[in-house]
Amino acid sequence: MKTSLPGAIAAVCWFIALGAWQGVYGQNTEFVDENGIRYQVTRTVVPRPIPVTKTEDRQITTYRQQVTTENVPHQQVYRVPVTQYQVVPRLHGRWNPFIEPYWTYEYQPVTVWQEQVATVQIPVTRSTWTPDTQTVPQQVTKWETHNQEIVTKTPLGPSPAGGGGNMALAARPLSGSTPSATVAPAPTGAGATAVAAAQQYGGQALQGDPPKSGWQPLPGAGVPSTATTNGGSRY
């Protein structure tokens, strides 16, 4: 059977990655005996993303509008009236043949418009945006990876013989509240022969009151159908 080189390299890389993953997020298996039962306890570490909310100080920059008014000098050209007095000559008697013409001089106002340059202050409104930085607490939610241990407990069956669970169960004393039967030791010698003979005929004669405690027959022995007492046979 031939295996290609790329396939072998891929298999080796896969096994290496699997071993590394098991080393970090692997499984740990152990066997525990409790109350006479063996359990397989598997502990698996799994990464889980958990949201964590923290309060952090952050700087927030806001811009505020600021209006300012400034007076800007400006040169303005305007026309103004200027009145001046000038000497105006005047001829009299030009068309009168009876007199000799003559000149007179009079002052008359003369108005002219002149251009003048003046510096005036013009108000100019400007809007500027001023940055305002404030430090405020803000809740930030981040995702952090935490390892979570998952424990799986699987019952396998009774504990092996001699195990700690069986020995503890056998050594545990009976509670006084637990009902139990007192088993008397089986008779030996002549008593055992008489009992065996009585059991063959279906009963045993009692010489007095029934005992408060008695012994149990062996497993597999039949239950007698009749019993003989001091008062006679009772069916």
Domain ranges of the chain: 5-52+144-169, 54-141, 186-208+224-235
pLDDT at 69: 93
Q: What pLDDT shows up at residue 109?
A: 92
pLDDT at residue number 48: 86
pLDDT for the residue numbered 175:
40
Nearest one of 52, 68, 31, 62 to 165, comparing CA atoms: 31
In a 3-state reduction of DSSP, which class is residue 79?
strand
Query: What are the Cα distances from residue 32, in Å, to 35, 39, 154, 202?
Result: 10, 5, 10, 51
Per-10-residue mean pLDDT of the chain, 235 residues long, equals 59 57 64 88 89 90 91 90 90 88 90 90 91 90 88 86 44 40 45 45 54 53 45 43
pLDDT digits (tens, 9 = 90+) for 76-107: 898 999 998 989 899 988 888 888 899 999 99
Residue 121: predicted pLDDT: 92
Among candidate residues 146, 34, 125, the one with its CA nearest the CA of residue 71: 125
Q: Which two tokens stand for residue 86?
A: 């000038």
Asked if 136 and 58 touch (Cβ cutoff 8 Å), the reply is yes
Whole-angstrom distance, CA of residue 63 vs CA of residue 133: 9
